[in-house]
Structure 1
Amino acid sequence: MASILDIKIPKRIATALRLPDNDPRRQQLRVLKKLLKKARFTEFGQRYRFDEILMSRHAGKAFQEMVPVHDYNKIYEEWWKKTLDGTPDVTWPGKIKYYALSSGTSESASKYIPVTRDILRSNRINYLRQLVSLLSYEHLPRNAVTKGFMMLGGATDLQKGKAGWYAGDLSGILMKNKPFWFQTFYKPGGRIAAIKDWNQKLNEIVEKAPEWDIGYIVGVPAWCQMLMEMIVAHYKVNTIHDIWPNLGFFVHGGVAFEPYKKGFEKLLAKPIVYIENYLSSEGFIGYKAREGAKGMKLVLDNNIFMEFVPFNDKNFDADGKMVENPEALMIHEVELGKEYALLMSTNAGTWRYLIGDTLRFVDLEHHEVVITGRTKHFLSLVGEHLSVENMNRAIQLASEEFNISIPEFTVVGFPYENLFAHKWFIACNDVVDEEALRQRIDQHLCELNDDYAVERTSALKEVFLEKLPEEVFLKFMEQKGKLGSQHKFPRVLKGKMLQDWKEFLSTK
């Protein structure tokens, strides 16, 4: 079989892969001006005077002053809604052909995120960049490089809208638009990828698994772990390497990998390379670009203009809702170790759009970040400021200490005896002392988070833990119509999702 690295890349894409000068401010201003120039004749561009911004001496600051920030509800109601009727040139030139349906972990309804041909092209360039970056890895599993890609994503059989557009999972859209040369390496193939029923799709992959030589697995950790467990159980083997001996890479994103690592290691006969990327429905934001990197490198020169809103009480309320005019910094203004919410403006017609993730810069020279959580997925009932990053790390440490797999968890905060308490729901099929596990998670959080430690001696009176079979979490996601694909179980439950979870547990 030909190697992926032997493929001749089109000249246009090869040019794009040559990174320009590494001045982050210059790269980002160049991107912004390119976006403004292309969208200046759209309804949005006319409303917010893009031509005037382009003529400004300080385009970045003028853009921030003249264009308001948006969350999904605001930009959808004011702008994107009309594109569903086929109206062209609303926030980006032309008609929108694809919409990514978001996983909707924090909201009950799916969100329609525009996906343009321009952003699909940008995504492909970033995929190739990430692939090329692997060549710099000292411990590269050479046998895996030329093998197949197992991409566990949404159904490529997309739903068609009345105005001629298509909607579905982002992974399904990407597979629908994959380059011709990728077909040779891509598994499970077009027929299985089109299957909408998640359980049927997994069962067919299990049946075909011995016929494929897989070097890479790409997808959300929870579902990829489930697939490997099914294959190992079905063929009564010890590890996944008994079926796919050349498996060397796991490419993941969307959620922190720490809680899943112990479960993955139990399924492997030898170490593999874990590669994190930052791909959202709104764009390909970054990827791990070098071996040993602390975080993911932001892509600053490929059609995404980024702003960073300090994640603090000045810019966000207690429920994680952003204020109307937040402080927004450009890439050259951020600080190491500070936590920010990300605003994006892209060639899919998102403008100063709050994606909902919180980031922390871990390397300013390489512009590398780690995802610390979601603006609405954190707990701070009494000032404990407990982030998803803290939760993931505590779970990872506890699972290593007890030698158990915890593929899913979620946390709830509530009033308790005139003060407050947290309750953890843990998915674990291994035998473990629940009280000992509760104590260790609590102790780790006290060590990881000073605010939490202080509040555990005062207003945060108690921490509870309930261990549930992994199947309970899966059944809940299935009941919500969010089984498999890009869907993730929310790490913090609030509002309607919390009420649904309580009702589900009371009847299970």
Structure 2
Amino acid sequence: MALIEFKLPKSISRALNIPVSSPKRQQLKVLIKLLRKSRFTEFGQKYLFDEILLSKHPGKAFQQIVPTYNYSKIFHEWWHRALDGKPDVCWPGIIKFFALSSGTSESSSKYIPITKELIRANTLTSIRQLISLASYNNVPKSSVGKGWLMLGGSTHLQKSATYYAGDLSGIQAKNIPFWFQSMYKPGKKIAKNTDWSKKLDEIVEKAPEWDIAFLVGVPAWVQLCMEKVIERYNLKNIHEIWPNLAFYVHGGVALEPYKRGFNKLLGRPITYIETYLASEGFLAYQNRQDAKGMKLALNNNIFFEFVPFDYKNFDSEGNMVANPEVLMIHEVEENKNYAILISTNAGTWRYLIGDTVKFVDLEKNEIVITGRTKHFLSLVGEHLSVENMNEAIKLVSEELNISIGEFTVAGVPYGNFFAHHWFISTDDNVNSENLKIMIDERLKELNDDYEVERKHALKEIIVDVLSEQTFMNFMKAKGKVGGQHKFPRVLKGKMLEDWQKFLTGEKV
């Protein structure tokens, strides 16, 4: 049976047949294409794109002439004019869509420019990942042409005088290709609903009418959806209503903490496929069943740069210094943490996306996400990453045979020293003191700096066990329900203050 039960348009099919070349060459082609397209914009004129294009080494010239940016800097210097409807600021034409993104730590929304070129590039990367499923073993290839339940943001976008704004998933869903519309669930009517609870209820009611093969979304919300469907129809598992369910496409947070909970809801094993789709673009995807990580999309309108994530390039709060050391794809090394800078076909230039990654296979250009530049704990030099936290939680949940979904950690004062305060969600019976000891021991095994500091200034570990619903209720109180909203793994600043108020019953 054929892998794909629909025929792709010829224009897309041609676009997918890009010859393989070295990573360096692919990336330089992307950079030159971006520079040529935007050379007559205000940004391109100020930063001498014509001169860069004529230089002998355009990659190095680009790095020497164009400064690095975080969101605050690029918005206040450039993007705010595009938001006001001014054309040709950082990308040709008027920007008609902006993705609203607050990541997992910021209290106010960011406006990320979305162009028709970026939407098309995201679609092409999605198709490439879809086609890569042909290499997967022991999965029903016929499932690819069946229903895709995508639990994303609302397609009902905020309208201003010159633009529409909303979740990227909602913008993408509003612009899905015609040939995909028959497979896309929950469909345009339900997807337009801005009330997540009502949307979920409508999905549950429609569930028996759909033949779902793919689930797509953030783990916590997908798990909640499956639980409600199983409860509504008194099922033993989700495969009783969706027998062809074979794939779960996930991204944004590590899946491991959720897997045990997922497995309880399934009638048989499914294939998990990881993606790296940020508001700024589709950066990477898993293209092999047993891949160590995700393959970077090197030849599709994103130019990548990598900043070593160390104290030379970032301060103690995770802010990048003014002139960091920046590497291109051919200069990176395996098993080192890097923060990512991207330049895209939406007028995003040398932009710090906020994630940290590690190359696990240089030959295949495969990465894993290790955390966020501001989501790590190093109160006294313990250098505890989200990757360490995820691995410790995975190991402990397996040892105790419990399901841990959400968790978060905060650094807090403890007498004259410091402590890590963990908040862990599980509905299983567990002793918090035992859980604390086990997490502490696993982190000592995983992180030498942590082990050293536990003997000195990091004096205590505190663990509070909460219900999964507590985490959901906090997200609801913050207006971050459903779609692509994720609970932060590290709490700092305003989010920590709001969380502490929420737990004591105060309004946030």
TM-score (norm 1): 0.98
Q: Which residue identity lines up with residue 206 of structure 2 in the other structure? A: K
Q: Deviations over 1:175-204 (max 9, x none)?
A: 100000111111111111000000000111
Q: CA deviation at 1:446?
A: 0.9
Q: Which residue identity lines up with residue 279 of structure 1 in the other structure? A: L
How far, CA to CA, are the matches of 2:232 and 2:375 in structure 1?
36
Q: CA deviation at 1:256?
A: 1.0
- Indicate conservation of the 8 Å contact 2:213/2:245, yes or no: yes
Unaligned runs of at least 5 residues, structure 2: none
Q: CA deviation at 1:444?
A: 1.0
Q: CA deviation at 1:146?
A: 2.9
How far, CA to CA, are the matches of 1:8 and 1:202 in structure 2?
31
- Indicate conservation of the 8 Å contact 2:2/2:141, yes or no: no
How far, CA to CA, are the matches of 1:145 and 1:373 in structure 2?
31
Q: CA deviation at 1:142?
A: 3.4
Q: CA deviation at 1:141?
A: 2.7
1:328 aligns to what?
326
Give the % identical residues.
Answer: 64
Q: Does 1:370 align with 2:368?
A: yes
How far, CA to CA, are the matches of 1:172 and 1:343 in structure 2?
25
Aligned residues: 506
Q: Identify which of 460, 463, 487 aligns with 1:462.
A: 460
How far, CA to CA, are the matches of 1:22 and 1:5 in structure 2?
27
How far, CA to CA, are the matches of 2:47 and 2:71 in structure 1?
18
Q: Which residue identity lines up with residue 242 of structure 2 in the other structure? A: W
Q: CA deviation at 1:442?
A: 1.1
Change (3 A) 1:54 1:143: closer
Q: Which residue identity lines up with residue 345 of structure 1 in the other structure? A: S
How far, CA to CA, are the matches of 2:232 and 2:7 in structure 1?
39
Q: CA deviation at 1:140?
A: 1.7
Deviates more, 1:50-59 or 1:13-22: 13-22
How far, CA to CA, are the matches of 2:55 and 2:318 in structure 1?
33
Q: CA deviation at 1:6?
A: 3.4
How far, CA to CA, are the matches of 1:16 and 1:81 in structure 2?
33
1:8 aligns to what?
7
1:99 aligns to what?
98
Deviates more, 1:452-461 or 1:39-48: 452-461
Q: Identify which of 405, 421, 424 aligns with 1:423.
A: 421
Q: Deviations over 1:341-370 (max 9, x none)?
A: 000000000000000000000000000000
Q: Which residue identity lines up with residue 286 of structure 2 in the other structure? A: K
- Indicate conservation of the 8 Å contact 2:8/2:179, yes or no: no
Q: Deviations over 1:80-118 (max 9, x none)?
A: 001111100000000001110114321100110000000
- Indicate conservation of the 8 Å contact 1:198/1:483, yes or no: yes
2:145 aligns to what?
146
Question: Map of 1:232-311 to 2, 5 A cutoff?
Answer: 232-311=230-309
Change (3 A) 1:161 1:3: farther
- Indicate conservation of the 8 Å contact 1:3/1:145, yes or no: no
Q: CA deviation at 1:7?
A: 2.3
1:81 aligns to what?
80
How far, CA to CA, are the matches of 1:195 and 1:258 in structure 2?
30
How far, CA to CA, are the matches of 2:20 and 2:204 in structure 1?
46
2:127 aligns to what?
128
How far, CA to CA, are the matches of 1:137 and 1:22 in structure 2?
24
How far, CA to CA, are the matches of 2:351 and 2:142 in structure 1?
42
Q: CA deviation at 1:4?
A: 7.2
1:213 aligns to what?
211
Q: Does 1:402 align with 2:400?
A: yes
Q: Which residue identity lines up with residue 78 of structure 1 in the other structure? A: E
1:99 match: secondary structure:
strand
Q: Point out 4+ residue stretches in structure 1 off by more than 6 angstroms.
A: none
Q: Which residue identity lines up with residue 360 of structure 1 in the other structure? A: K
- Indicate conservation of the 8 Å contact 2:6/2:145, yes or no: no
- Indicate conservation of the 8 Å contact 2:427/2:468, yes or no: yes
Q: Identify which of 468, 471, 479 aligns with 2:469.
A: 471
How far, CA to CA, are the matches of 2:103 and 2:141 in structure 1?
38
Deviates more, 1:442-451 or 1:322-331: 442-451
Q: CA deviation at 1:15?
A: 2.0
Q: Deviations over 1:268-309 (max 9, x none)?
A: 111000000110010110100112110000011110000000
Q: Which residue identity lines up with residue 112 of structure 1 in the other structure? A: Y
Deviates more, 1:408-417 or 1:66-75: 408-417
